[in-house]
Structure 1
């Protein structure tokens, strides 16, 4: 992007922010008259939008720097040594671009750190299987929020089903029901079903119902999948 194009994009962004603030002001005044009055762009509103846009850009830039620095720390390399690791493989480079863009818009430090660790994993071992996992981790991290992470913490010690080749006694109970999760964190009850569906769709939680049909979701037992266990480890405060 040229300097001229960058300035044009900045001006357009400021105008968008200004219009949004103006529309919001109009809503507080109420009615069509309030909407028109709120949409009027004043010098003060333009200055406010410019300051807001600059703060957004500063934070996005800082998050980019922090993410790359965290990858270097995780790999125990200098920042200058990191460039070849992130650019030598086309898939790693693409994943780097996607993770950096995602990190810019994420306020959660734990989620940004998890993204950095996933990228470090890909850079250190760019094998197809590892990159597949890292891409899934990136997708999951960007699509979960604090309630999903709380749910994962609450269910983390639920026993998953054994591998297909391992014996599984019929009388043994695997997983944890939604009610058991709610008993650990009552705050998850209201949105628990929606949270569960998101985690299931991302492959972070799996059913332990062992093929039993006709059982409502609220009664089925669940546990973290291997991908979910991997992600929860990246989200831990002591993750390195």
Structure 2
């Protein structure tokens, strides 16, 4: 691994390149905070994919892309004298120090849950009106549900045992089925949302990240379906011309073709 001096030198190199690109490159010169936003979101998802695949070389590359965006935003901020990369670093450092009084102060904690409770309570003392203010509006619904539940848990609003949460799941499933039988679309959607929210909560109690779990299943389905498509192509057939029974043969093959899938 590189020494701290080499790490700082590499970061300085990135800052220098960013200065040069902002001055000389037509594309980089025209970028704004707003124009970069959607690209940053894409890069973050690409990083997430690399982490799920446990492709560490790709993780390294994607981290570089995300870091570039942080430096880019900071460069734009410096041009309007609002903030620069030093301000960004100092701001997060100051927050980390203030949010970890058990490291930089005289507070004693017993475990991770104590740390999380302290974190949320400190944010309220800093002026936050709600523990849920830190949940971005733009998060995908599944991720947002998990963050909401994690946040309120940090201030003690939570179930005590996983069994209680599972009972809630069963209750919500029953209510959903009742609305399905009545065929009331609006109420069906509302109850389905409750089912998903309770399942996310149950996953949290089991220490399962629901977003990761669902994305792994997405990837697994894609691999198996593409295997099915390849086999159909080998036979000179189109999937739409195959029966479900024919497709199921290859679907079962796909499960054993790659045990990691």
Would you say same fold, with TM above 0.5?
A: no
Q: What is the TM-score normalised by the length of structure 2?
A: 0.27
Which structure has the larger Rg? 2
Asked which structure has the greater RCO (Cα within 8 Å, sep 6+), the reply is 1
Q: What is the TM-score normalised by the length of structure 1?
A: 0.28
